[in-house]
Every structure is written in structure tokens, then in C-alpha cells.
Structure 1
Amino acid sequence: MIHKLFGAIGFVFMLAAQNASAADLKITISQIQSGSGELRIALYKQADQWLTKSFKKIQEPAVAGSVTVIISDIPAGDYAVALFHDVDSDGKMAKNFLGIPKEPYGFSNDARGSFGPPSFDASKFAVPAEGAAITIKLE
């Protein structure tokens, strides 16, 4: 009986320790032109998965002006964010015949690529154990 009690107490402390090491990431998205559609936000943790396999994805209703979202339970480390304003709510980035985005988009560090998206390294930022706050301007 005592072993089960100590085991349960140990499990509770383990969960508390895990939650203590998880941080919140606060993302403020500015220059939103309209309140139609959704903001589709993807958080990436690894350079080799940049723009292909996100660590976390969230979707938030668009509001003209700016929106702040919080992604919780982020382990400390390096991350990059890519997002776009899905104005027509079809779940994908609208592009013209040349592949150029027709819907507003943005990346962490307000990184810009030439002839394509920026690299993970250009978009990368650190999330310490205390959490982080970033701002991304839509273009």
C-alpha cells in the first residue's frame, strides 16, 4: 500500500516537473486587412521539416488589425513560425499561376525569402523555459 502511495506521489511530481519545463509562446499577428476567414499558424521545431511537417498547428478567426494567440506547452528550444490569412477559408494558400501567394502571409522574424519562402534559419527564434513573445507582420 505504501509503495503505491509513493508511486502515485512520484507520478504527480513527475507531471508537475514536465509542466514546469513547458513554456507559452505568445504570437501577435499585425497588419490583418480584414476580419474574413482564418489565420492558419504552423510552428516548426526542426529545419528538415520546415514548411512540410509542423510541430503544432492552430487556426484562429481573423480580426482586422491584430490578433494575439498563445501556443502552450512548448518545450524550450528553437522554433520558426509560418502563417497565412486564409481569407476564403478553403484551408490552403491561394496562389497565382506563377505560384506567388495571393493571400497575406508572414514568418517569424518577419523573414523574407527571395524567389520563395525564407529558410528555417532566417525564421528561427529561441523559446526559453520562461516562454517567449514574437510579432509577425502580414505581407
Structure 2
Amino acid sequence: MSFITKFTASALMSVAMIASANNNAFAADLQVEVSGITQVKGEILLALFDQKGRWLRTAAMRTKTAATGDKVVLTFSGLAEGEYAISAFQDLNGNGDLDRNLIGIPSEPYGFSNDAVGNFGPPSFEDAKIKMDAQNKSIRIRLN
């Protein structure tokens, strides 16, 4: 390898390492306390959405935990700066889906970030969005 090739490869490696370190430096954790759990059974499932166009369709991340008391705490780790919205529900029967009645109203407890509510349907991404910066953040969602 010539000196120039070695120098270029070394420089590119350094840039990649710095970029990687910078990305990790801006990664933050979002801690979510879910309250309003009235039945200690099933699991609490959270879905995090990072784009308005994917809201309630394609989650960027998911997490879950057993419903062990009247509230639980879950964490999304390594989030970049940006806007996110979260949907939550308690899966009482363990089927992994938010069950609904005959007219489409959820029959299991559910909630959204900012405790956002919708009119004749779920809230908008705009109503549920939270802004993450380089700092860790804690929010609360109350199940209905």
C-alpha cells in the first residue's frame, strides 16, 4: 500500500470512529412510567414511533413487561435526538393484540404519550409526540 492509500484509509477510519462516538454521545434513554393498571394480569406493551407517517402502523421499537402492580416502568434506550410518540396497552389475554369490541372501541386498557386522546379514533402523532434531546427523559402514560 502506498503512503497515500494508508493515510486515506487511516483518515477514513478516524472519521468513522468519531462519527460513531458522536452518535453514541447523543443517544438518550426514555423512561416511561405506565400507571392506571387496575388488573394485575397480562403484560404492558409499548410501541415507540419515530415518524408521523408510521404512527400506529410501523413501530421503530417495542418493549413489554408483566403487569405486576398499579404501575410499571419501561425504558427505550439509545434514542437519537428527534420527535417520538408512544402507544401503550395492557394485553389482558396474552394474544399480543389490542382487542376491540364490535364497533372497534378498544376493550383492553390503552394510552398514549402526553396522555393524548383522539376524537372518534386515536390521537394524532402531533398530539402524542415528545421531543428527545441528548438528555435522558422520563414521561408518564395513564391507561384508560
What is the TM-score normalised by the length of structure 1?
0.90
| 2:96 paired residue number | 91
Q: Which amino acid aligns with 2:51?
A: Q
Equivalents in 1 of 2:121, 2:12: separation in Å? Answer: 53
Query: How many pairs align?
Result: 139
Matched, 1:77 2:82: yes
Q: Secondary structure at the match of 1:32?
A: coil
| 1:116 paired residue number | 121
Q: Which amino acid aligns with 1:21?
A: F
Equivalents in 1 of 2:51, 2:19: separation in Å? Answer: 26
Equivalents in 2 of 1:119, 1:11: separation in Å? Answer: 37
Contact (CA 8 Å) 1:34, 1:63: kept in 2 or not? no
Q: Which runs of 5+ in 2 are unaligned?
A: 1-5
Structure with more of its chain in strand, by fraction: 1
Q: Which amino acid aligns with 1:125?
A: I
| 1:58 paired residue number | 63
Equivalents in 2 of 1:51, 1:59: separation in Å? Answer: 16
Contact (CA 8 Å) 2:29, 2:137: kept in 1 or not? yes
Q: Give me the CA root mean square deviation.
A: 1.8
Q: Which runs of 5+ in 1 are unaligned?
A: none
Please state how far the C-alpha of 1:7 moved relative to its aligned partner: 6.6
Q: Secondary structure at the match of 1:48?
A: helix
Which residues in structure 2 correspond to 1:1-139 (within 5 Å)? Answer: 11-139=16-144
Equivalents in 2 of 1:41, 1:12: separation in Å? Answer: 33
Q: Which amino acid aligns with 2:102?
A: F
Contact (CA 8 Å) 2:23, 2:80: kept in 1 or not? no
Structure number with greater Rg is 2
Q: Secondary structure at the match of 2:96?
A: coil
What is the TM-score normalised by the length of structure 2?
0.87
Contact (CA 8 Å) 1:22, 1:73: kept in 2 or not? yes
Contact (CA 8 Å) 1:94, 1:103: kept in 2 or not? yes
| 2:3 paired residue number | none
Instruction: Tell me which moved more, 13-22 or 60-69.
Output: 13-22
Contact (CA 8 Å) 2:64, 2:74: kept in 1 or not? no
